């Protein structure tokens, strides 16, 4: 089963991991990227490292501190590319196209005999403007959905000194893993085939400001008139956020189905008279 939640390291996250790593010191991110890629090689995954242009030399130097990655670099198994070689500084990523690129790269890795693809990426340059942030946040959610069914994993680095905590919170919400819980909740892909997404963490007053925008950017699919959310990782939800979820489903002409073990959620739904919400408790 794919894991999710707050982590303090990048080893042992599995072949479908998706981690948001906020950092202040670039050296810290390079160390965790090295651990993530080395662990991927151990799992049989093809490693790829996407760096900012002015960080390439130091990034490679850091990789060579791992004998496994040093050998992979020399043998051409580890690819290091620059963000600037693919995108202009002000470029706005097209979310679906970006997912397609990594899907094709994953297929190529498997065809070459690897178990899948693993990418560590310094993504700060791609989210500096408001249009970039909206597009890339949407992409982060879509790629996480892709990861639930395919052997692709990614570590996404964001510089808190450049972007600020609020911006990174918006991005972290769309990841299964993060090294901080300041965002409060997660909205990411679910391994359950009939669920539009998984909700995890705590939906309380702290996360209320981000839930609306996260739902809009995720654009959750509607199936048979319902938006079904996997809430098995949800630790708490207050009435304000439950109303926000309900209104979002209503705006899409859908019924909200929330699968959670918290019986109190069903009680809140009854008390508020939310007629387009169905809470499904485990048997």
Q: Please state the pTM of the whole predicted model.
A: 0.93
Angstrom distance (rounded) from CA 235 to CA 264? 11
Residue 170 has pLDDT above 70, yes or no: yes
pLDDT of 198:
95
Non-local (6+) Cβ contacts of 81 within 8 A are 48, 49, 50, 51
* pLDDT one-digit tens code per residue, 200-211: 999 987 777 899
What is the fold, at CATH topology level, of the domain defined by 197-280? Answer: Transcription Regulator spoIIAA (3.30.750)
pLDDT reported for residue 5: 92
- The candidate with the shortest Cα–Cα distance to 30, out of 51, 6, 7, 1, is 51
Look at residues 42, 59, 16 and name the one whose alpha carbon lies nearest to residue 154: 16
Q: Give the chain's mean pLDDT.
A: 92
Residue range(s) of every CATH 3.40.50.300 domain in the chain: 5-183
> What does each C-alpha distance from 137 to 25, 55, 158, 190, 193 come to in angstroms?
23, 23, 12, 17, 22
pLDDT at 86 over 70: no
| Model pLDDT for residues 130-140, shown as the tens digit of each residue | 999 999 999 99
Model pLDDT for residues 16-70, shown as the tens digit of each residue: 999 999 999 999 999 999 999 999 999 999 999 999 877 778 888 888 888 889 8
pLDDT of residue 187: 96
- Residue in this structure with the two tokens 């500084």, named with its chain if needed: 89
Per-residue DSSP letter, 116: E
* Superfamily of domain 5-183 in the CATH hierarchy: P-loop containing nucleotide triphosphate hydrolases (3.40.50.300)
pLDDT, position 89:
64
Give the HSE-up count for residue 272: Cα atoms under 13 Å, Cβ half-sphere. Answer: 20
- pLDDT at residue number 208: 73
Between CA 92 and CA 44 the distance in angstroms is: 32
With CA atoms as reference, report the closest residue to 162 among 21, 20, 19, 24: 24
Task: Write the burial class of residue 273 (CB in 10 Å: 0-12 exposed, 13-18 middle, 19+ buried).
Answer: exposed
Averaged pLDDT for residues 66-93: 84
Residue span(s) of the chain under CATH 3.30.750.24 come to: 197-280
Q: Which of 85-89, 160-164, 230-234 is the most confident on average? A: 160-164
């Amino acid at each position: 089963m794919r894991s999710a939640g707050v982590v303090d390291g990048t080893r042992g996250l599995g072949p479908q991991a998706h981690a948001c790593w906020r950092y202040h010191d670039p050296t810290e991110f390079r160390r965790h990227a090295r651990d993530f890629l080395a662990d991927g090689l151990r799992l049989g995954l093809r490693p790829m490292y996407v760096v900012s242009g002015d960080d390439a030399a130091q990034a490679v130097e850091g990789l060579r501190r791992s004998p496994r990655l040093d050998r992979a670099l020399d043998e051409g198994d580890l690819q290091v590319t620059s963000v600037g070689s693919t995108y202009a500084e002000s470029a706005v990523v097209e979310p679906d196209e970006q997912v397609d690129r990594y899907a094709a790269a994953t297929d190529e890795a498997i065809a070459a005999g690897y178990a899948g693809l693993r990418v560590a990426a310094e993504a700060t340059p791609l989210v500096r403007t408001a249009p970039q942030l909206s597009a890339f946040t949407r992409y982060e959610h879509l790629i996480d959905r892709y990861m639930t069914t395919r052997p692709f994993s990614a570590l996404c680095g964001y510089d808190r000194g450049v972007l600020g905590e609020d911006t990174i919170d918006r991005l972290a919400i769309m990841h299964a893993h993060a090294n901080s819980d300041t965002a409060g909740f997660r909205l990411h892909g679910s391994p359950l085939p009939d669920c539009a997404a998984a909700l995890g963490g705590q939906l309380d007053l702290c996360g209320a400001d981000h839930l609306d925008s996260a739902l809009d950017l995720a654009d959750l699919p509607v199936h048979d008139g319902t938006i079904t959310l996997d809430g098995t990782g949800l630790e708490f939800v207050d009435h304000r956020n439950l109303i926000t979820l309900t209104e979002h489903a209503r705006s899409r002409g859908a019924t909200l189905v929330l699968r959670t073990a918290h019986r109190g959620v069903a009680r809140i739904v009854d008390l508020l008279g939310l007629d387009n919400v169905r809470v499904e408790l485990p048997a």
